Amino acid sequence: MQRENAKKMPTPIHLFDIYRSANIGIFLRTNDKFCLVPRGISSTKEEKLQNLLEVKAIQISVGGSRLLGPLVAMNNNGMVLSRFAEDSEVSTLSEATGLDVVRLNSRFTSVGNLISANDIGAVISDVFGDESTRAIRDTLKVPVQKMRIASFIQVGAMLSATNQGAVIHPIASEEEISRIRGVLGFEPEPATVNGGVPFVASGFVGNSKSILVGAQTRGAELVIVSKAFSA
């Protein structure tokens, strides 16, 4: 459903940090049911995440790393992992979520920085070949659009989307924004986080119920993010 035809309540927005870092999107990845969090995260922080996002937290690593954001792409249908993911990590995520989980056989390992998806569509980097593109499409179960944003291949770092809206690097062109609208069902709002950081995914974690932005995000930035995820 296109944004202008949808009537929805504004999505709550909260300031958040993890490991005293405002770069929350580097460590976390969420959909409407689950939030992937690094192993060893404090119980108070995990509980707060579960309450704010209304999800179940799953402690996990990918390739032994706690930097989950760059290594995972997901929506409510499936999950794409970096080829660095270990067998035990793949099986743990599959069993814990019941989702289709695929380890992408690609030399491009930071899949979270190269894919942005919701339950309507996925914008993926044009560096992916046909086999990887099919795997992403079949796992996330949505149409995909291969493209760059402002000549950058890291479309997943420049664009963050939920089923309620999207934010994008402010340098994106009107043509690119229009193309993305056709894929994700929403026109992404040019925005920054954490006091001017244009790679929005680094300071953004969100689902259909709630949005978290880095704790250094300023008032004017919050207004823009709120606009992106409001009716």
Q: What is the CATH number of the domain that holds 55?
A: 3.75.10.10
> Which residues contact residue 151 at a Cβ distance below 8 angstroms, ignoring those fewer than 6 apart?
none
Q: What is the 3-state secondary structure (H, E, C) of 135-192?
A: HHHHHHCCCEEEECECCECCHHHHEEECCCCEEECCCCCHHHHHHHHHHHCCCCEECC
pLDDT the model gives residue 40: 95
pLDDT the model gives residue 8: 57
pLDDT the model gives residue 3: 44
Q: What is the span of the domain harbouring residue 124?
A: 12-199
- 128 located within any domain: yes
Mean pLDDT by 10-residue block, N- to C-terminus, for the chain (231 residues)?
52 96 98 98 97 98 98 98 98 98 97 98 98 98 98 98 98 98 97 98 97 98 95 51
pTM of the model: 0.94
- 112 located within any domain: yes
- 16 located within any domain: yes
Total domains present in the chain: 1
Coil/strand/helix, residue 112: helix
- 43 located within any domain: yes
The residues facing 125 across adjacent strands are: 147
pLDDT the model gives residue 230: 85
